[in-house]
Structure 1
Amino acid sequence: MLRALSIRDMLLIERLELDFHPGLNVLTGETGAGKSILLDSLGFVLGWRGRADLVRQGAQQGEVEAVFDLPEGHPGRAVLDEAGIPLEDELVLRRVNTAEGRKTAWINDRRASGEVLRALSDTLVELHGQHDDRGLLNPRGHRQLLDAYAGADTGAVRAAWRALAEARKAREAAAARLAGLRAEEEYLRHAVKELDQLDPQPGEEAELDTRRRLMQAATRLVGDVARARQALGEDGAERLALDALRWLEDAAEGVEGRLDAAIEALGRALSELGEATGEIEACLDQMQADPAELERVEERLFALRGLARKHSVLPDDLGTHAAGLRERLEALDSGDKGMAALAQAEAAAQTGFTAACAALTAERKAAAASLDQAMAAELAPLKMERAVFQTVIEPTEPGPEGADAVTFEVATNPGAPAGALNKIASGGELSRFLLALKVCLSRGQSGVTMIFDEIDRGVGGATADAVGRRLRALAEGAQVLVVTHSPQVAALGAHHWRVEKRVEAGATLSHVTPLSAGERVDEIARMLSGDTITEAARGAARALIGA
């Protein structure tokens, strides 16, 4: 509910403080007095798009502040939560417009973007009038309005739509992958066969390279190693050492143990000499390169390296690469079976979505019949008993909201073709259609401030009285603001303000004054009789107020 509105230096308003109340709030005044300025200012603070030249002439900036009460569960709370804006006892919107056109907005003293402000305002205020393009006249919103009237839960359809979209996406992605695999089937089969035949092993390339280098070096090194074996063997150092040991042992008896240490050392040397000779012989055995073996090693090594270059991987990664290619080939071979399963899942999702849409369509059609009947009951007291309101439901492209297009159509006279509200009805008729529609759609709803801008234009007498009574009924348990020129409507208001222009110090300013009971009688009398208020007009005004 809108609780207060503060305006500074906007158009013809220098300073204005207004306190609003639940129920039917009425604003009256002469044409051009500035009633539309209030709506322009409220629309400005709510982030609505409107006229650009809002700042009062001579002022540096204009400012509007609006205070709202948001009960628990109000949809505006979800918008605030998503934007990270805290809410305590009240919601305060403030927006400033400089003379240069720069606009800045705050929500509860937090800077806010126009997008957040407009999302929040959609939950706070509805504006309705003959040129309404935000609500009831916009066919794009008729389906949502019908669903709200029906209390329809579209969650099942949205969930089924998501499931269908995911199933379709999975099938299409699998089909694209399978088409890609089929395009490279010949390459995959050849590559896997080639890699399987070679059967590369991790670390094999380094091992083969070491063996190759050793065999290549054998021819050059084997001569030196053989000569070393000969120098240390039986015809070399070993023979000389044995001779020396034998000679020392023969002489040892004559020198009373003085050669014992030498003999022991020479024995150890012979042992080390034998070990060295054995290692050299073992090395010689390994270095006896077999030309055929060298050829086999080189052939294997070059095959590994060539295949690695061909597939742009390291030789040690050939095995992993082969496994990946093998998986792709297996996916290709099992692709038809997988596609059949995905197609079956998509078909099941389509069946579920179609069923959910059908249930929602049936619910909408039942609600449409109920709405059409309720509209007929509302139009009769508004002197439009010959008019026909029809909720048209037609098939449309399926989507997350179902497969129905909903349009509100009217025929103003029997036998006349039906058409869209804003194309068939005249100004006065359109006002009454909108009012009746809003009365029907708003039953059981609360929390939104509804503003009707001269919706009673073009009607009078009993019809105007019927309009006022419906506005009053609409305001029960809610808040309705009405800008009106109709005394019958004004008389039914719970709260009344008069808007007037005054010239002060050479400047024209608009003022808004809350009316007491006596002042209200005079204002309605003025609306009945014009500038000269007679006692008869006052009597008529009292009669209207007391009716």
Structure 2
Amino acid sequence: MLLFLRIENFALVDRLEWKLGTGLTVLTGETGAGKSIILDAIDAVLGGKVTSRAVRTGADRALVEATFRLEPALSDWLKAQSIDIALGDGAAGDLTAETLVCSREIVASGSSQRSRSRVNGALVNKQQMEHLRDRLVELTAQGQTVQLGQPGLQRDWLDSYGGDALLKTRDLVGIAFSAYQQAVQALENRRRAERERLQQLDLFDYQLRDLNAANLTEPDELEQLEQEAKRLSHSVELQQQSYLVYQTLYQSDTDAKACVDLLGRAEKTLTDMVEIDTELQPILELVTGAFASIEEAAREINAYGENIEADPQRLSDVQDRTSELKQVCRKYGPTLAEAIDLRDRLQTELLELTGGGQSVEELEQAVKDAQKILETRCAELTHLRQTAAKDLESRLIGELKPLAMEKVKFQVGIAAIAPAAMGADQITYLFSPNPGEPLQPLTETASGGEMSRFLLALQASFSQVDPVGTLVFDEIDVGVSGRVSQAIAEKLFQLSQHHQVLCVTHQPIVAAMADHHFRVSKQIIDAIESVDELPSDNGTHKPGKSRRGSKNTKAEPLNNTPDQPPSHTPADAVRTVVRITSLSNEDRKQELAQLAGGQSAQEVIAFAESLLTQAAVIRQAQTGKEGGAIAAESTPASKPSRAKTAKKA
């Protein structure tokens, strides 16, 4: 149950505090007075989407805070989330009851904005807030008629109506569907891998045969062959040059002295010199060694020259082998060593590709097993949905009949579709408001007024199984006649016996049934005085004055015109704000009269009094309480003397 709402700098609201009671609470006011802003604030504080205009012009932050009475189930949830449980405060009214305080701060930063949500002072994420929202407030608006046509939403409503057993089964279906998808994916991956494996086998096998055919052995074979080919192609030249070197070193055919002859002469001379001076001995040894080295070099070069032969066949073989190895390097290299490494690696990978792993047949069987489990779960879910559908059909028809729809027919159509995460059912709400007419999809056959009543009846059906403590209806009675309005009013009152009901309405018959009646209006105040109302460092504020120059926020007479700034005041020196006013019994008469006739003529006031009297009779018949007008005066939200605007912080 919503106990207290505080709004700061949200849209047109500068500062507003609203204490709520049990039973049926109605908000009335002119179109555009700001009723929707208050409902938007309730939606926002519970994680709803906020627009770029959420923060009041001129302010840098907005704050919405809602205090709820804490139910035992939510108390356990708070403990599980490690969130402290708060006691009530003076604003909420009960100083001892455990409360749940939800707040949302929206900070404007240039063209963007960010927000933070808290529960009892602890920061919470979007998922946590959605969990709370589903258990605290249910907001129903006539605009939801568009959503009613969405099969997914119709399915979710049916599943919620089916209760925990159905929702748990749906969760099991989701798990089974996920397992089925994983099995299918594993099979597809294996089939793809098998295709790729066969393609790789073909490629690797071809490459390996190509490399093996090259008979690769030594990584430097190509360099060796190139060197041999160069030698074979220059054999004659090498023979001539080796003979020339031999002559130069050892035996010359010309008059020129060979190298060994010159060294021999130098050796003999040095030997003689050493006999005279022994210090020349190291030089002699060097020359003697050089003589021996030249002799050895001459013998080897002579042997080299004699062994060189022209071999055209060998040269051709070497050139062919060189060409083959270069082709291998271009395809698998760029070097011969890398080609040899690739050959060895291909042999290993071929062994792996021809190895084991889970077979396609095993994975196909796994898919069949997962599909069987999914189909079984879906069948269980379908059965539970069929049971819930029959109960919802009878209950909803029972709720619609008192709403002037005595001949209505309603059916939850359940058609089979391919299994998915939400089951194997296509849910369609079928509706026929007139006898003899076939059942048709709800949004194709229901009028606006019928859709409003359907939403109300649906909410009434859910209220019997739904733990939500506060039901909010935004102009659920638009487009209906007086007789239907009376039926809607009685239905709202019946709901309020078990839930806190908050309703925005333009219907005087609905407003007359309220336990608490508030009027929402716009006022024009000084811009400077509006700034003065902002809290100072110690949290206090100066109450601002409206353009009527009075701090008294007593409900205005019905023939008042909207507040206008005096002619001497510049337009940019004023601000528009939203105010909410609690109505006394006398104020309610005038408000109902204005809703009914738009004027305060005596006959309209008499009609308003008759509505209150009629409401009192209905209330007494249903609950045994005293009349509606008397009850309205005795509620904490009303005062017997005059209306009082809800406190501003």
Q: TM-score, normalised by structure 1?
A: 0.69
Deviations 1:24-60 (A, max 9, x none): 563343664736654796599754789x9x999xx99
Please state how far the C-alpha of 1:543 moved relative to its aligned partner.
0.8
* CA distance in 2 between partners of 1:161 and 1:313 (Å): 51
Is 1:453–2:487 an aligned residue pair?
Answer: no
Which of residues 564, 568, 584 is equivalent to 1:505?
564
Partner of 2:92: none
Q: Which is worse superposed, 209-218 or 327-336?
A: 327-336
Return closer, same or farther for 1:537/1:145 CA change in 2, 3 Å cut-off: closer
Partner of 1:107: 115
Is 1:432–2:463 an aligned residue pair?
Answer: no
Please state how far the C-alpha of 1:398 moved relative to its aligned partner.
3.4
Return closer, same or farther for 1:268/1:118 CA change in 2, 3 Å cut-off: closer
Partner of 1:195: 211
Tell me the SS of whatever aligns to 1:358. Answer: helix
Please state how far the C-alpha of 1:498 moved relative to its aligned partner.
1.4
> CA contact under 8 A between 1:8 and 1:62: conserved in structure 2?
no
Where structure 1 has 5 or more consecutive residues not aligned to the other structure, the ranges are 78-87, 110-115
Return closer, same or farther for 1:387/1:134 CA change in 2, 3 Å cut-off: closer
* CA distance in 1 between partners of 2:275 and 2:494 (Å): 151
Which of residues 418, 422, 426 is equivalent to 1:405?
426
Please state how far the C-alpha of 1:17 moved relative to its aligned partner.
2.7
Please state how far the C-alpha of 1:405 moved relative to its aligned partner.
1.1
Is 1:375–2:383 an aligned residue pair?
Answer: no
* CA distance in 2 between partners of 1:187 and 1:104 (Å): 57
* CA distance in 2 between partners of 1:260 and 1:183 (Å): 79
Deviations 1:78-116 (A, max 9, x none): xxxxxxxxxx9753354889xxxx97544149xxxxxx9
Where structure 2 has 5 or more consecutive residues not aligned to the other structure, the ranges are 69-73, 82-99, 118-124, 253-257, 523-560, 567-574, 597-602, 617-625, 633-649
* CA distance in 2 between partners of 1:518 and 1:240 (Å): 145
Return closer, same or farther for 1:195/1:474 CA change in 2, 3 Å cut-off: farther
Return closer, same or farther for 1:257/1:517 CA change in 2, 3 Å cut-off: closer
Deviations 1:350-402 (A, max 9, x none): 33433343333333333333433443554455565653432222112433323
Return closer, same or farther for 1:262/1:187 CA change in 2, 3 Å cut-off: closer
Question: Aligned residue pairs: how many?
Answer: 514
The amino acid of 1:504's aligned partner reads D
Partner of 1:544: 628
Partner of 1:26: 25
Partner of 2:528: none
The amino acid of 2:627's aligned partner reads A
Deviations 1:330-359 (A, max 9, x none): 899899995445544443443343334333
Return closer, same or farther for 1:94/1:355 CA change in 2, 3 Å cut-off: same
* CA distance in 1 between partners of 2:586 and 2:348 (Å): 89
The amino acid of 2:16's aligned partner reads E
Return closer, same or farther for 1:399/1:510 CA change in 2, 3 Å cut-off: same
Partner of 2:289: 268
> CA contact under 8 A between 1:468 and 1:488: conserved in structure 2?
no
The amino acid of 1:403's aligned partner reads A
* CA distance in 1 between partners of 2:327 and 2:38 (Å): 81
The amino acid of 1:543's aligned partner reads G
* CA distance in 2 between partners of 1:62 and 1:16 (Å): 14
Tell me the SS of whatever aligns to 1:473. Answer: coil
Return closer, same or farther for 1:55/1:338 CA change in 2, 3 Å cut-off: closer
Is 1:470–2:495 an aligned residue pair?
Answer: yes
1:476-491 aligned within 5 A = 480-486=501-507, 489-490=510-511
> CA contact under 8 A between 1:128 and 1:455: conserved in structure 2?
no
Partner of 1:128: 140
Please state how far the C-alpha of 1:278 moved relative to its aligned partner.
7.4
RMSD (CA atoms): 5.6
Which of residues 605, 613, 631 is equivalent to 1:531?
605
Return closer, same or farther for 1:31/1:285 CA change in 2, 3 Å cut-off: farther
> CA contact under 8 A between 1:214 and 1:287: conserved in structure 2?
no
Please state how far the C-alpha of 1:434 moved relative to its aligned partner.
1.4
> CA contact under 8 A between 2:26 and 2:514: conserved in structure 1?
no
Please state how far the C-alpha of 1:324 moved relative to its aligned partner.
8.1
Partner of 1:4: 6
Please state how far the C-alpha of 1:192 moved relative to its aligned partner.
4.5
Please state how far the C-alpha of 1:524 moved relative to its aligned partner.
7.7
> CA contact under 8 A between 2:35 and 2:520: conserved in structure 1?
no
* CA distance in 1 between partners of 2:410 and 2:494 (Å): 21
Partner of 1:158: 174
> CA contact under 8 A between 1:252 and 1:258: conserved in structure 2?
no
Partner of 2:87: none
Return closer, same or farther for 1:319/1:441 CA change in 2, 3 Å cut-off: farther
Which of residues 416, 420, 427 is equivalent to 1:395?
416
Return closer, same or farther for 1:178/1:446 CA change in 2, 3 Å cut-off: same
Amino-acid identity (%): 23
1:103-502 aligned within 5 A = 104-108=112-116, 127-133=139-145, 135-149=147-161, 150-151=163-164, 152-153=167-168, 154-172=170-188, 175=191, 191-200=207-216, 202=219, 204-213=221-230, 215-216=232-233, 220-229=237-246, 231-232=248-249, 237=259, 264-273=285-294, 276=297, 291-309=312-330, 316-319=337-340, 339-379=360-400, 382=403, 384=405, 386-412=407-433, 416-441=437-462, 443-446=465-468, 450-455=472-477, 457-458=480-481, 459-461=484-486, 464-475=489-500, 480-486=501-507, 489-490=510-511, 493=514, 495-499=516-520, 502=561
Deviations 1:458-500 (A, max 9, x none): 424465313321255343xxxx431124566546655431135
Q: Which is worse superposed, 215-224 or 35-44?
A: 35-44
1:62-73 aligned within 5 A = 66-68=64-66
* CA distance in 1 between partners of 2:356 and 2:282 (Å): 86
Tell me the SS of whatever aligns to 1:422. Answer: helix
Return closer, same or farther for 1:143/1:420 CA change in 2, 3 Å cut-off: same
> CA contact under 8 A between 1:69 and 1:90: conserved in structure 2?
yes
> CA contact under 8 A between 2:186 and 2:363: conserved in structure 1?
yes
Return closer, same or farther for 1:500/1:196 CA change in 2, 3 Å cut-off: same
Please state how far the C-alpha of 1:315 moved relative to its aligned partner.
5.0
* CA distance in 2 between partners of 1:393 and 1:296 (Å): 84
Partner of 2:533: none
Q: TM-score, normalised by structure 2?
A: 0.60
> CA contact under 8 A between 1:123 and 1:448: conserved in structure 2?
no
Tell me the SS of whatever aligns to 1:498. Answer: strand
> CA contact under 8 A between 1:9 and 1:62: conserved in structure 2?
no
Q: Which is worse superposed, 234-243 or 200-209?
A: 234-243
Deviations 1:420-441 (A, max 9, x none): 3333444444333212322333
Tell me the SS of whatever aligns to 1:430. Answer: helix
Please state how far the C-alpha of 1:142 moved relative to its aligned partner.
1.5
Tell me the SS of whatever aligns to 2:627. Answer: helix
The amino acid of 1:544's aligned partner reads G
* CA distance in 2 between partners of 1:181 and 1:230 (Å): 69
Tell me the SS of whatever aligns to 1:4. Answer: strand
* CA distance in 2 between partners of 1:488 and 1:468 (Å): 12
Please state how far the C-alpha of 1:157 moved relative to its aligned partner.
3.2
> CA contact under 8 A between 2:432 and 2:440: conserved in structure 1?
yes
Please state how far the C-alpha of 1:198 moved relative to its aligned partner.
1.5
Higher relative contact order (CA 8 A, sep 6+): 1
Which of residues 505, 515, 523 is equivalent to 2:582?
515
> CA contact under 8 A between 2:65 and 2:103: conserved in structure 1?
yes
The amino acid of 1:464's aligned partner reads A
